[in-house]
Amino acid sequence: MKNTFSIHKKCMIRSISPVLLSSVVALGTFGCKRQKETPAGANNETDSVSVVDTIGKTPDTVYTLSSELYTADPSAHVFNGKLYVYPSHDFESGIPEDDLGSHFNMEDYHVFSMDSVGGEVTDHGLALHIDDVPWAGRQMWAPDAAHKDGEYFLYFPVKDKEDIFRIGVAKSTTPEGPFKAMDKHIEGSYSMDPAVFEDTDGKYYMYFGGIWGGQLQRWRNNEYHGEDTYPADDAPALSPKVALLADDMAGFAEEPKDVMILDENGNPITTGDNNRRFFEAAWVHRYKDKYYLSYSTGDTHKIVYATGDSPYGPFTYRGVILDPVLGWTNHHSIVEYQGKWWLFFHDSSMSGGKTHLRSVKMTQLKHRPDGTIQRMNTYVEP
């Protein structure tokens, strides 16, 4: 199935900062030009040094991946010169909403690709269904993908028969699949949101984890305890995990480790600091010899980032990438394509604000000369 990226022109932007922002926007069609506009309180210089944004700037263009399917949690990669997106696939399950995400009852994955930003997007159809995963129980959440030695790997979190989230892997000879799942989940894996980072030395690392519905709070020292246990508000927050992948890409080469996220004074971000603490959706990219760990703050609905000198961290908090969007969740990825950096995320604008029916979006991401990332606001009124 093929369709063309739809383009959102200046959207109605809701400021999350104390500064009131009211920018009237309209929906346009591909090819129209739009005038740049700076929100009240935004920094107008993208090349300034040590910039601290207090409000997100409205992007010039926001693209929607598909108007045919509800998609979320996009993981974007460049394979063979094409841009591939691996999202989860939302549908109306009829399950009541709760804090554990029971209403996100996804059952399969589709893969999308494009040759150019803003051009034709191909939906390659069903890549993997939960019925084809022998150990799976329910809820196929945010996936990721990787390539090595002619094989493509789809990593996915799904609850096992005991309702515990594990991370599985499926293989294909093509980036679009279909993928064949392995008979067992990755040994030692747990929680959700796998994200695989390939470093310049050819090593692959998997980051994973998420609290609340992601069950990270039920694990201590890589052992499952069953009960929900959170640190005190003034204690270090729960961290995403990282593990070096084995040569066959189907297992861990080491025990998962904590990824430490520090504040500007070198102290761990605390549980009570929910504007900065990790919630879910870890992603790592490398830019000018710095490692960028970005993630969702969950109940404060931001995509934020921290930087470090090693894929293991520690990472020092730097700021917000994306302000809250329409809908409760957000989940993102960052990739370089055709000489520019791109942020993939989702919102609930296509469903009129239904938080379990989301749509993947894409917009340009800008690194400043000092290494900071320009903060954005893409909120669309339902």
Alpha carbon distance 375, 204 (integer Å): 28
- As a whole number of angstroms, the distance between CA 19 and CA 16 comes to 8
b/e map 35-74, b = 16+ CB within 10 Å: eeeebebbbeeeeeeebebebbbbbebbbbbbeebbbbbb
pLDDT for 51: 53
CA distance readout (Å), 203 to 136, 245, 311, 363? 28, 8, 10, 28
Catalytic site includes residue 73: yes
- Which two three-digit tokens encode residue 14? 């809701």
CA–CA gap between residue 72 and residue 87 (Å, rounded): 5
Question: Cα–Cα distances in Å, from 81 out to 30, 107, 202, 288?
Answer: 23, 29, 19, 21
Does 77 fall in a domain?
yes
Joined tokens for residue 159: 């609850």
Euclidean distance between CA atoms 223 and 67, whole angstroms:
42
Give me the amino acid identity at 321. Answer: I
Query: What whole-number distance in Å separates Cα of residue 237 and Cα of residue 271?
Result: 4
Is 298 domain-assigned?
Answer: yes
User: To the nearest whole percent, how much of the chain has pLDDT over 70?
Assistant: 86
Residue 340 confidence (pLDDT): 98
Q: What's the sign of the alpha-carbon dihedral 223, 227, 228, 234?
A: negative
Does 379 reside within a domain? no
280 tagged catalytic? yes
Confirm whether 370 is domain-assigned: no
pLDDT of amino acid 382: 84
Asked if the structure places residue 375 within a domain, the reply is no
Number of Cβ within 10 Å of residue 221's Cβ equals 8
Q: Which of 193, 280, 323, 347 is catalytic?
A: 280
**pLDDT of the chain along its 382 residues, tens only?**
666 566 554 333 333 233 233 333 333 333 333 323 322 223 333 333 345 677 899 999 999 999 999 999 999 999 999 999 999 999 999 999 999 999 999 999 999 999 999 999 999 999 999 999 999 999 999 999 999 999 999 999 999 999 999 999 999 999 999 999 999 999 999 999 999 999 999 999 999 999 999 999 999 999 999 999 999 999 999 999 999 999 999 999 999 999 999 999 999 999 999 999 999 999 999 999 999 999 999 999 999 999 999 999 999 999 999 999 999 999 999 999 999 999 999 999 999 999 999 999 999 999 999 999 999 999 998 8
Does residue 130 form part of some domain? Answer: yes
Q: What are the phi and psi torsion angles at 218 (to 5°)?
A: -95, 0
Q: Are the C-beta atoms of residues 5 and 65 closer than 8 Å to each other?
A: yes
* Bond prior to 268 in cis (omega within 30° of 0): no
Domain-located, residue 230 = yes
Domain count, the chain: 1
Residue 356 is assigned to a structural domain of this protein: yes
Q: Using one digit for the tens of pLDDT, what is the confidence trace for 264-293?
A: 999 999 999 999 999 999 999 999 999 999
126: domain CATH number is 2.115.10.20
Measured distance CA(254)–CA(105) in Å, rounded:
31
pLDDT at 35: 29
> What's the CA gap between 50 and 365, in Å, rounded?
17
Question: pLDDT tens digits for 77-117?
Answer: 999 999 999 999 999 999 999 999 999 999 999 999 999 99
Please give the residue range of the domain that contains residue 359: 2-365
Q: Model confidence over 347-377: pLDDT tens digits?
A: 999 999 999 999 999 999 999 999 999 999 9
pLDDT, residue 81, reads 97
Q: Catalytic: which of 53, 73, 90, 144? A: 73
